[in-house]
Chains A and B, each alone.
Chain A
Amino acid sequence: MTDTSMAPPGTGIRTFDYGSDEAQARVKRRYQAEARFKLYGLLAVLFAGAFVFVLLADIVRKGMPAFFEHRVVLTLDLDASLIDPTGRREIDALRNGDYNKIVMDAWRANFPEVTQRSERRRLEALVSSGAADDLRAAVIRDPALIGQKIRFPVLLSDDADLHFKGLSTRISTVPGAGALDVKVNGREVELSGSGQPFAAILADVKAGLLKDAERVGAELARLPASQQGGNNAALDARRAELTQKVADLRRRAGDAGSAETIDFSSMPSRIIRAEGASIRLQEIGPGSAKGFLLVAPQREMARLESWAIATFATPESNRKASDADISWLETLNARGAIEKAFSTRFFTSGDSREPELAGIRGALIGSALTLLVTLIVCLPLGVGAAVYLEEFAPKNRFTDVLEVNINNLAAVPSIVFGLLGLAMFLNFFGLPRSAPLVGGLVLALLVLPTIIIASRAALKAVPPSIKEAALGVGASHQQAIFHHVLPLAMPGIMTGTIIGMAHALGETAPLLMIGMVAFIVDIPQAITDPGTVLPVQIYLWSDLPEVAFQAKTAGAILVLLGFLFVMNGAAILLRRRFERRW
């Protein structure tokens, strides 16, 4: 309530009643606004925190599989006639041995029923093309193995590996009810039993049909309406087709007793497992079913007392591992032949087109070489520039230009440095493309401002009294700086340098410009060899269509983040350890 009555003449002061209801209500409103404002701030910080958490969790979840690989342990017959026909154990001869045949023979021996060519090829594709190389390396390491039978872990292909990492399809297994009579005719199988053993499966299939009907119905509803007078022939045809399809599906789903033929392009596959055999059902009735023998039984079967039915939720044509692939792998898994192991390969091999063989060694070495060049170039330059600007530079226009220029350079987009590298280092100076040398130079220029700014701050933090003390005992200006000021500023400079290096390690864009994106299998040996770096490797892998490379990408990201974490941690430790308050 504003008291409009003026104070006595001469004072000119208006009085105000802070105790009034209106004033109280106003204060309440102001406090609510205050609480709201504070909440917004808190939410902003929490949002950033939540993002970091979700990002890291997502990448860890995606990346962990990259550190493991699945192998099948086979008994390999290291037949001397295939490996070392001359018997002289010469390395060159050993290198040319037919290891692939040894691996494949042992592999195929698991499934003798597979004889047809295309089926055989599918089976062989489950073993990685690198398995033979592993065996070769083992034999060259220890030629005494030749002629022996050894248990050897054979690397599986990426699709097989993904299956065991749970990325092919969801499999649910339920025990079957009642005994089945089996009639085997080659690979064709007929199953029958009393008391409708397949009724539950059939009901499940019909339920799936009803769902399909709903899905198609929804698609029908989304079709645009026919235009008046327009050419609607195609649209109308589509509408009629879908209507028919919905009616069809509904009818089939409703008729509980009729047999169903499984359409593998749109329906989940159902596999009967018994006696070590896998039978894929093709036609299901309530009391009998027809199927195909994917994996042969251990012994003759005529009557199955106990059996199980496995459902692969994703239709076969929507996944890379076929029903046969999965059945083979699951059969081996049941026999205990599959092992999961830490993938040292991920750290010790270079890039590859085969996801299960690809590793980050080349990128790691490339990053190390690149950072080495960066460090050698930009540490002296950066510290030199900082010392000059802080201690020697006269106050004039040129120094001003230098300062403004350094600050601006720090904000120039990194890709522009890539253009500089391309135009200057590659085209003008003719330095080699894709080489860590050029990458290192470009990154050095990129992080130079960071290091100069950090070094200047460190130099500035050293109190002038130190320098004055040195000058006081007769040291020259440079002696005072190089003997006293610079050593005291060194921890700060090192901190800045590590942070700059971490920045360089994570940088990608400018390196794309100078050709470090080439697919390079060889590990670079020198700074002029073509190579790539970790972030670029991540970019390259992220672009590949194979699902397995997604895990590799995330795995490489984890390694990169690990390095960055260590570097930044080191910087923080250094700062804590040497931080000095003057």
Chain B
Amino acid sequence: MSFASPMIQEPASAPEPAVAAKVAARNVNVHYAEKHALKDVSVDIPARAVTSFIGPSGCGKSTFLRCINRMNDTIPICRVTGEITIDGKDIYDSRLDVVLLRARVGMVFQKPNPFPKSIYENVAYGPRLHGMARNKTELDEIVVNSLKRASLFEEVKDRLQESGTGLSGGQQQRLCIARAIAVSPEVILMDEPCSALDPIATAKIEELIDELRSNFTIVIVTHSMQQAARVSQRTAFFHLGALVEEGSTEQIFTNPKDKRTQDYITGRFG
């Protein structure tokens, strides 16, 4: 098994979704014990673009997100069927290593969850796990670059040894993004990353997401349609465990094909 796909650092061009599907899901079904939480979801997620999943709460969008880095493995009663591929490789292949998968597919959670350690240790955690740095200098470099990429470095450069839990909510979430970036993932999954933040912090994160898309494939779950419209190039609408409609953000918000999408974005339910 080889994922030797060094990142391609070409300047981001306008996304051409049909061309480069980074993540492809085919007929994904998820059951929580008896409950059928996700029904037959098939979707392509383009590389180096932001894809957002929207839909009312409980519609399965977070469940699907957690399938992409197999976080659902940690829930014993959860069963996933179907196929999800990244760069054409099935991630549910029994020979694939979930630890390595999660290093390649980073995740940012709903509530900022910095470890109760110093800011530095928070970011250095992943690189240390995966043995990415041969020495302290390299590790320092990774930490600083990650913090810079997460637009947090300027705010915390003088207090890298202070606890990560002492930061403000928005800073904490950016720290979590820096932490995710530090292991150089290809895909970053964000599960309602701004739901616990105030509008100013949210704006900063959104700005950051827009910057990051030049290097990473980003999937974001959001309950806010405005946010999806602001940050994403592609949008998928989930309802009652099914993927209703997927397309370019512009098309979804201006000219939805499905009645339910229409109802949702116009605020008839949700």
Interchain CB contact under 8 A, B9 and A26:
no
- Docked Cα-Cα span, A17 to B6, in Å, equals 7
| Cβ–Cβ < 8 Å partners of A27 in chain B | 97, 99-100
Q: Choose, from B27-35, B131-139, B169-177, B260-268, the stretch at the interface.
A: B131-139
- Chain B nearest CB from A20 CB (Å) reads 7
Decide: A13 and B130 in contact? CB cutoff 8 A.
no
B209 located at the interface, meaning its Cβ lies under 8 Å from any Cβ of chain A in the complex:
no
> A14 near B9 (CB under 8 angstroms)?
no
Interfacial chain B residues near A17, Cβ < 8 Å = 4, 6
CB 8 Å contact bits of B1-41 with A (1 = contact, 0 = none): 11110110100000000000000000000000000000000
Docked-complex contact A19 and B9, CB < 8 angstroms: no
Pick the contact of B6 from A3, A23, A26 — CB < 8 Å? Answer: A3
Interface locus among B77-85, B141-149, B250-258:
B141-149
Q: Which residues of B contact A13 (CB under 8 A)?
A: 7, 9, 145-146, 149, 181, 184, 215
Q: In this complex, what residue of A is CB-closest to B184?
A: A16
- Report yes or no: B132 in contact with A16, Cβ–Cβ below 8 A: yes
B183 contacts which chain A residues (CB < 8 A)?
Answer: 16
Residue among A3, A11, A18, A22 with max Cβ neighbours from chain B (10 Å): A18
A340 at the interface (CB under 8 A from B): no
- When A7-B9, A8-B9, A27-B97 are in contact, do A16 and B130 touch as well, CB less than 8 Å? yes
- B149 and A15 form a contact (CB under 8 A): no
B149-184 interface (Cβ within 8 A of A): 149, 181, 183-184
For A31, list chain B residues within 8 Å (CB).
99
Contact B184 A11 (CB under 8 A): no
CA distance A14 to B9 in the complex (A): 11
Judge whether A7 and B7 touch: CB under 8 Å. Answer: yes
Q: Is the interface of A mostly helix, strand, loop or mixed?
A: mixed
Query: Please, how many angstroms separate the alpha-carbon atoms of A474 and B49 in the complex?
Result: 64
> Total A-B pairs in contact (CB under 8 Å)?
62
Q: Is B104 engaged at the interface, CB distance under 8 Å to the other chain?
A: yes
Known A3-B6, A17-B4, A20-B4; contact A12-B149, beta-carbon cutoff 8 A: yes
Q: Quick check: is B214 within 8 A (CB to CB) of the other chain? A: yes
How many residues on A have C-beta within 8 angstroms of the other chain's C-beta atoms? 21
Determine if B236 is an interface residue (Cβ-Cβ < 8 Å): no
Q: Which of A14, A19, A22 contacts B2 (CB 8 A)?
A: A19
A27 to B1, CA, bound (A): 13
Cβ of A108 < 8 Å from any Cβ of B? no
Docked CA distance A2–B133 (Å)? 7
B residues 188-213 with Cβ under 8 Å of A? none
When distances are taken between beta carbons in the complex, the residues of chain B under 8 Å from A4 are 138
Task: List residues 1-50 of chain A with CB under 8 A from any CB of chain B.
Answer: 2-4, 7-8, 11-20, 22-23, 26-27, 30-31
In the complex, chain A residues whose CB is within 8 Å of the CB of B181: 13
CB-nearest residue of chain A relative to B147?
A12
User: Cα distance A582–B117 when bound, in Å?
Assistant: 38
Question: What's the Cα separation between A31 and B129 when bound, in Å?
Answer: 12
Determine which of B4, B129, B131, B134 lies in contact with A19 in the assembled complex, contact meaning CB atoms within 8 Å: B4
Q: Chain B residue with minimal CB distance to A25?
A: B131
Given A2-B134, A12-B145, A27-B97: A19 touches B7 (CB 8 Å cut-off): no
Minimum distance in angstroms from B206 CB to a CB of chain A? 19
Interface core residue of A2, A14, A27, A30 (most chain B CB under 10 Å): A14
- A23 and B131: CB pair below 8 A? yes
In the complex, whether B50 has a CB less than 8 A from a CB of chain A is no
Q: How far is the CA of A27 from the CA of B132 in the complex (A)?
A: 12
**A interface residues with partner B (beta carbon < 8 Å):** 2-4, 7-8, 11-20, 22-23, 26-27, 30-31
20 contacts between A and B (CB under 8 A): A8-B9, A12-B145, A12-B148, A12-B149, A13-B145, A13-B184, A14-B145, A14-B184, A15-B6, A15-B7, A15-B184, A17-B6, A18-B3, A18-B4, A18-B103, A19-B3, A23-B100, A26-B130, A27-B100, A30-B99
Taking A4-B138, A13-B184, A16-B184 as known contacts, 10 extra A-B pairs with beta carbons closer than 8 A to each other, sorted by chain A number, are: A11-B9, A13-B145, A14-B142, A14-B184, A15-B184, A16-B183, A18-B3, A18-B130, A26-B130, A31-B99
